[in-house]
Structure 1
Amino acid sequence: MPMTDLPDLPLPGHGATAERLRGLTALGRADLVTCRLAEGHVDAVAIRAELGDLDQDQNRSGERWGVWAAAPSSVRAEHGPHGWRLTGDRPWCSGAAWCTDALVTAAADDGIRLFAVRTEHPHATPLDGTWPAIGMAGSDSRTIRFTDAPARPVGDPGAYVDRPGFWHGGVGVAACWFGGALGVADTLLSAARRKDPGPHALAHLGAVDVALGAARAVLDEAAARIDADPKADAHRLALRVRATVEATATEVLDRVGRALGAGPLCRDPDHARRVADLTVYLRQSHAEADLEQLGRLLAEGEGQW
């Protein structure tokens, strides 16, 4: 997908969430960097729709949006006679030089707010040397320095994380991981279909199929539940989906490597890049911290599994 050819995916919770997740999965299977940038754009569209901001800037074309909201951040929002202005450094800004616009969280006097910002010089400057990554290198997730950047508030204080769609977006990221896992698994499947890889490699192939089937099932279930009750709290659902897909992707990385050895990692640049990209992308998960959060929700909640 050319970087200007952004997908038009259904909004989550509007009856076609499964189609949205399948679209993200297909992008991840083809290329995780492209998927990461596209996911940020379609997530921004969904956020703006949910918070009532899509009627803004309707005459502009060629917008490429990012969602730059990861903690920590030193961005401060000040409201003055000429409107809101943002100042400070925001790390982990995927598409730093590619995005034309971004949704950015910042601390204001009345709490953490979400703002729409044009990523224009001199108000928004990507800092060189802040993304020396090998995996996901092409995502260009540098730190952005905002300097008196004009900004438009999107929603009320706290609205970005308090809305149900926050967790719908988290499920969308898991769909991207699943696509990356499929891309890595494709290398093993292709190798097995070219020649008999031996019993151990075939056992790994069978185990990969089982793991991928489990991840696909939880994504399908999540899509159905989001569409059935889009305003329900999807926190626990998203944590469970993300943990399942992360475990699947981790198993796929391990089993494909054990089945095929170092050859594809050293001689197949596309496969080596997929492995490096997926390894980094999966770390958007908070690992045991997310599992602890899931366990706490279960222990303090009601109902069954």
Structure 2
Amino acid sequence: MTERQDVLLTFHRDPVPVLDLVHAVLHAVPATAGPLEPLGHGLTDGVPQPGAGETMERWEVLATLGAHDLQVARAAEPHLDALAILDEAGRSDLTGPELRWGVFAAEGPGLRLTAEQHDDDTWTLSGTKPWCSLGSQLERALVTAWVDEERRGMFAVDLTDPRVTPAGTGQSWAPSGLRDIPSGSLAFDAVDARPVGDPGWYLRRDGFGWGGIGVAAVWYGGAVAVHRRMLRQAGGRALDQVGLAHLGAADACLHGARAVLAESAAAVDAGLVTGPAGRVAALRVRQVVADAVEAVLLHAAHALGPAPLVEAEHARRVADLQLYVRQHHAERDAAALGRALTEPTEATR
């Protein structure tokens, strides 16, 4: 990284102090280091928790990381989310300065992780959990597991426990994007676990929607970096009418996404994005940002042509962003938003 480029969500404002630390760490860690390396240098120290008055600053950190390197952002975002979940649950006692966290909440066909409570009020996890990003490289994780046939709980687990092993489920990981973020399955063999909240709390809590918007902030930052590549082309040669149209259209898309992120950050801190309203807000923001990201990728492809796709940095960013934004489930998430709007809440209009 040769220059500092913040991604701010509001105009005419100086960068927040936490971004000073972010850039200091990014400059100190070699570009060849793995995506987890910056976490070991305190990359996320001082990042505000969501809903505590500085949510916009938190999302600016995530957006700035996304613009810098989506793989670093992909490692930092769940770590920050885990710390926020523990804080919301009143379990910050489980955190430690040298621990790097993940959040594993996905389900997969034919795979099941179950939680068993024992007579001494301890819990163990057994079974297989899919899509455990960086699972073999992290020290801790928050993992969802079935406590009965209908409910899941969240548990903190030590991933260095020898009873946690890679699972040979036949699931392969051979991506063109996020190549250094493997996301295989993990097998748990009666692994000690600490409950975080009661069953179902993970999905009910206000912070669930806030975390989802934080992911969208990373997508936004990645798209800003793609647009910057378009601007560099404009600075190097005179654009024709088509090139100018793509540049302007991409800028307008990003402006809309930025405004929605800034508005939602203010709403979170004002206590307006809680309960069912928070779920609707998260679906709305993620839809707007995902649409903007996909539009920017299309405009960049049409405006820049094939040449930048053989540039290592740009080609990697495009591949990373295309995979990362698929955490938004496209029409299925749009349908989820539509379904939520049919439910009587203060979020409908």
Structure 1 residue 143, shift from structure 2 partner: 1.3
1:33: which partner in 2? Answer: 71
Q: CA separation in 1, counterparts of 2:164 and 2:244?
A: 51
Q: CA separation in 2, counterparts of 1:13 and 1:245?
A: 20
| Secondary structure in 2 matching 1:210 | helix
Sequence identity of aligned pairs in percent?
44
**2:291 equivalent to 1:253:** no
Q: Which residue of 61, 75, 90 corresponds with 2:97?
A: 61
1:293: which partner in 2? Answer: 336
1:49: which partner in 2? Answer: 87
Over 3 Å counting, the alpha-carbon distance change for 1:170 and 1:264 in structure 2 is same
2:308: which partner in 1? Answer: 264
| Secondary structure in 2 matching 1:294 | helix
Which piece of structure 1 moves more, 86-95 or 230-239?
230-239
Which piece of structure 1 moves more, 15-24 or 81-90?
81-90
Q: Which residue of 99, 105, 112 corresponds with 2:152?
A: 112
| Residue type at the aligned position of 2:265 | A
1:123: which partner in 2? Answer: 163
Q: CA separation in 2, counterparts of 1:109 and 1:209?
A: 49
| Residue type at the aligned position of 2:295 | E
- Runs of 5+ in structure 2 lacking a partner? 1-25, 27-37
Q: CA separation in 2, counterparts of 1:15 and 1:66?
A: 25
Q: Which residue of 114, 128, 136 corresponds with 1:89?
A: 128
CA RMSD of aligned residues (A): 1.7
**2:318 equivalent to 1:280:** no
Over 3 Å counting, the alpha-carbon distance change for 1:64 and 1:285 in structure 2 is same
| Residue type at the aligned position of 1:280 | L
Q: CA separation in 2, counterparts of 1:224 and 1:272?
A: 34
2:12: which partner in 1? Answer: none
Which piece of structure 1 moves more, 79-88 or 152-161?
79-88
Measured against aligned partners, the alpha-carbon deviations of 1:155-181 in whole angstroms (never above 9, x if no partner) come to 111110011110010000100110111
CA contact (8 A) 1:87 1:149 kept: yes
| Residue type at the aligned position of 1:102 | A
1:102: which partner in 2? Answer: 141
Q: CA separation in 2, counterparts of 1:86 and 1:204?
A: 51
Structure 1 residue 33, shift from structure 2 partner: 1.0
Structure 1 residue 293, shift from structure 2 partner: 1.5
Over 3 Å counting, the alpha-carbon distance change for 1:42 and 1:132 in structure 2 is same
CA contact (8 A) 1:236 1:294 kept: yes
| Residue type at the aligned position of 1:7 | T
Structure 1 residue 127, shift from structure 2 partner: 4.1
Q: CA separation in 1, counterparts of 2:273 and 2:296?
A: 34
**2:62 equivalent to 1:24:** yes
Structure 1 residue 206, shift from structure 2 partner: 0.6
CA contact (8 A) 1:66 1:102 kept: yes
1:199: which partner in 2? Answer: 241
Alignment of 1:170-209 (within 5 A): 170-209=212-251
| Secondary structure in 2 matching 1:149 | strand
Structure 1 residue 84, shift from structure 2 partner: 1.3
Q: CA separation in 2, counterparts of 1:66 and 1:256?
A: 32
Q: Which has the higher contact order (CA 8 A, sep 6+)?
A: 1
- Provide the TM-score with structure 2 as the length reference: 0.82
Structure 1 residue 230, shift from structure 2 partner: 6.0
Structure 1 residue 211, shift from structure 2 partner: 0.5
Over 3 Å counting, the alpha-carbon distance change for 1:230 and 1:126 in structure 2 is farther
Q: CA separation in 2, counterparts of 1:162 and 1:107?
A: 16
- Provide the TM-score with structure 1 as the length reference: 0.94
| Secondary structure in 2 matching 1:138 | coil
1:218: which partner in 2? Answer: 260
Measured against aligned partners, the alpha-carbon deviations of 1:194-242 in whole angstroms (never above 9, x if no partner) come to 1113221111001111000000000000001110016622011100100
Aligned residues: 302
Alignment of 1:230-249 (within 5 A): 232-233=274-275, 234-249=278-293
CA contact (8 A) 1:188 1:256 kept: yes
CA contact (8 A) 2:128 2:167 kept: no
Which piece of structure 1 moves more, 160-169 or 84-93?
84-93
- Runs of 5+ in structure 1 lacking a partner? none
Alignment of 1:120-159 (within 5 A): 120-127=160-167, 130-159=172-201
